[in-house]
Chain A
């Protein structure tokens, strides 16, 4: 952990009343927005964001600057900005901290972004469960409107910007940007067919940019520091820039959200930021790196990249934990960075059971629109239930792979892959355990809350 690291995204976290405009402003809020709207052109801002190599923080890691560049509104079309605060990916809990503790940072980011992309209306779509985040944003927006920062002339600029929160009502799939747009429009949260992409035809049929809460919240810092400087804060500059929020949960001593440069290693995240394994006598068995859709890693697996051209050649032979956490590095590793929120599992966890837990999640959250996801996802749970209950066969493991292989890529949206990829990851990295469970079922005394049950029952909060 770097001592000289200056928090940016979390700079106002922990300050008494940080969610109020007065306190936030005292600590720098809206300074950049005022400068951006009054002294910078949209092109200048877009250029800085492009230079920043800000990779989308919602999970896919698409460069935000490039996404903005897709906008090309036709005569008479209104551009919308939609902020994705539907944070629901298991293991992910970062955006909520921004919305609760520093809503003005997000609003400031929205103001700058709206100016940059020519939008007059922004919606912040927040999952319905996060009532407090919605209330926090609404209160902050009310203050910002009173001040005139949000409204017809933000900072005196004749460029009206209206910002509204929009509450979801319980559906993970609404984090998928086109499902989110449907939900915003009062429809079932079923992903749309693409193309057209939102930048061409998004909210209300108009060109729309959908960005994650953290992505937009990074915009003020980028504009403040300059894209290049912000980018260089990353250990993976220039392709994957800046700083980001890391989350860690599961079997660690200090679960939580930490801000750090892009490109720290999983080892650092677990042992430095997360305080190490929860129990010293229960070592790390597996870690899901960035939300449940990202294939699991295991510390005893090493990087296999003998070829000098391989992007991970520098880490050849080292543990998977020692690869810097970046969008591209993790893809090369055969997993995904996702939302950069890790779920840590110690040696008491049975991987088949952990896998089933996540597959149940996907069964519950599939929108049911297209066949492979609707039927395949539920079937995976069915097969896993069979294995764990001892009714399975070794060949069922092959069947799991076959089902998941045939969900991959065959669905309307990425949810199908989001279900299949982690399943395939679990089987690939823990095949022996799957075969073992197929032969004998899961021993009754093995539960994946083995190492924490006493903490919960004994009244000692971790």
Chain B
């Protein structure tokens, strides 16, 4: 690979790379606001100015103070170039440090803060704001502008998800470019010019496409804030673990931001992933963290309707064992879930194997029923994060749906059911026969159609409460980590299944996630991506 020198360090680059991109890939940050690896080059912030020492030098006239003459005299300074615009070239020598470059950075930074409101205490960007970070790193001078700053509109509602503060805006146009280039909806533009300009919404429109939260995500300052996240948390209290979006079969990788003090997840952010979602996520995916705190199943329930009784978590396993004891193992229907992790599905499939039943079914969300629409950008037509993983866990493509399960129950082929919840692709009314089963055990993190039908409902840890993995439609298996503890001692579904197996005297011994994974990866059938 060809290389160039950045501050004396060799940086490899691919043909066509700009200086900043090659440096970014090598883990070296050149300060920038407007540049984003996933967007076109605007070169408008001028924060990434560097000195290209090799090649033709251009000198610019400036004035310098001549101490001896006690007057300003003509001098020169080198022409600096934006690292985001200039292509890297073999043997090029670039400095992003040094007196002249640092002076340029300091002044761009000062220019950007001239009219910026110093409202950091109430700004949601505080703590992850480039203006703050770069002030410390590149400016550190006192405010020299003494007059009233330019005032512009504040708290402008751009749409259901985003609020705009023009005074905080640095006009980097990332949001405009994102809407144009990624969301393919030119709903934002710039109005006016000079230092009166601001981002403007298309007249007659709202910022309401499927990727609006990405405008906040790309905003390097506090100009665009998410109505969901606004004023909810201070980011320096939040911790982050890598996650995988549960919203559809694309499997966007995420950062899961949570507050360890209260065990709450506050937001998701896309985690860069060239192979999958690049730098982006859709709004539905971004908001999918809501399911962690809404409509949760927290307590085991035995019985249905008026006869339902609450159990302790510890009692749930015994109740399951009791329900299955005496049922012909061959007539136990096992429902894997396209919503659950590879680990949950694999252990349940293994349990089926140990039980000696071949009656496997797959529960999956139905796009039409959910009103889900895919697109050509990120949103997959399949609103399930792990259909491929469930098939792989079974070692085959599971053609049988919950509808087939209903037929088999009616035919007397299935007498008991163990299912991973919460959703399946059938309407509740067509599932009525399942409500007649004496033993319908459902493990679920959330309420939904299957938990509704269960004779025994056992809470399961959500994806944020365990480490696990999803296999997306492309067959890529991606791991996520535990962010927060599960409430009330609730276990991941696969662990509950291991205990149930033990109660039934079956040989299913997994203690840690790694053991499940090792076994899963060792089974060739299970590791291969199943057709979708």
Measuring CB to CB, which residues of chain A are less than 8 angstroms from any residue of chain B? 171, 173, 188, 193, 334, 363-372, 374-379, 382, 385-386, 398-399, 401-406, 408-412, 417, 421, 424, 427-428, 431
Contacts and interface: CB of A to CB of B under 8 A. Distances in A.
Given A382-B145, A410-B108, A368 B60 contact: no
A408 B114 contact: no
Contacts of A374: 111, 171, 194-195, 197
B56 interface: no
Contacts of A399: 144
Interface in B29-61: 41, 43-47, 49, 58, 60-61
B193 A366 contact: yes
A90 B190 CA distance: 27
Interface in B93-114: 103-104, 107-108, 111-112, 114
A380 B217 CA distance: 33
Nearest to B79: A409
B194 A366 contact: yes
Contact of A408 (B61, B171, B197): B61
A404 B62 CA distance: 8
Given A366-B194, A412-B43, 18 more contacts: A188-B193, A193-B43, A363-B195, A367-B194, A368-B193, A368-B196, A370-B43, A371-B47, A371-B170, A372-B107, A375-B111, A378-B150, A379-B111, A382-B147, A385-B147, A386-B147, A424-B61, A424-B62
Contacts of A378: 114, 150, 194-195
A427 to B, nearest CB: 6
Nearest to A421: B61
B103 to A, nearest CB: 7
Given A401-B72, A424-B62, A410 B46 contact: yes
7 contacts: A188-B190, A334-B61, A368-B194, A374-B111, A374-B194, A386-B147, A424-B61
A371 B108 contact: yes
A426 B58 CA distance: 23
Given A370-B44, A372-B46, A408 B195 contact: no
Contacts of B79: 409
Contacts of B41: 193
B158 to A, nearest CB: 20
Interface of B: 41, 43-47, 49, 58, 60-63, 65, 71-74, 77, 79-80, 85, 103-104, 107-108, 111-112, 114-115, 144-147, 150, 170-171, 190, 192-197
B463 to A, nearest CB: 42
Contacts of B108: 371-372, 410
A375 B103 contact: no
Contacts of B114: 375, 378-379
Contacts of B85: 193
A405 B77 contact: yes
Nearest to A365: B194
B43 A377 contact: no
B72 A375 contact: no
Contacts of A372: 46, 107-108, 111
A377 B45 contact: no
A424 B74 CA distance: 9
B71 A431 contact: yes
A409 B197 contact: no
Instruction: Give the 3 A-B CB pairs with smallest separation, nearest first.
Output: A375-B111, A406-B107, A409-B60
Contact of B77 (A366, A376, A408): A408
B102 to A, nearest CB: 12
Contacts of B46: 370-372, 410-412
Contacts of B61: 334, 408, 421, 424
B104 A410 contact: yes
B44 A371 contact: yes
Contact of B60 (A334, A370, A375, A408): A408
A402 B196 CA distance: 23
Contact of A405 (B43, B62, B147): B62
B152 to A, nearest CB: 12
Contacts of A408: 60-62, 77
Contacts of B74: 334, 428
B63 A424 contact: yes
Contacts of B150: 378
Nearest to B197: A368
A212 B107 CA distance: 34
Contacts of A411: 46
Contact of B63 (A193, A368, A376, A428): A428
**Residue among A375, A399, A402 with max Cβ neighbours from chain B (10 Å):** A375
Contacts of B170: 371
B192 A368 contact: yes
B194 A376 contact: no
Given A378-B194, A406-B107, A370 B62 contact: no
Contact of A368 (B43, B104, B195): B195
Contacts of A427: 63, 72
A363 B150 CA distance: 13
Contacts of B144: 399
Contacts of A379: 111, 114, 145
A379 B85 CA distance: 27
A397 B197 CA distance: 28
A420 B144 CA distance: 19
A71 B80 CA distance: 27
A238 B274 CA distance: 57
Nearest to A194: B85
Contact of A370 (B45, B77, B80): B45
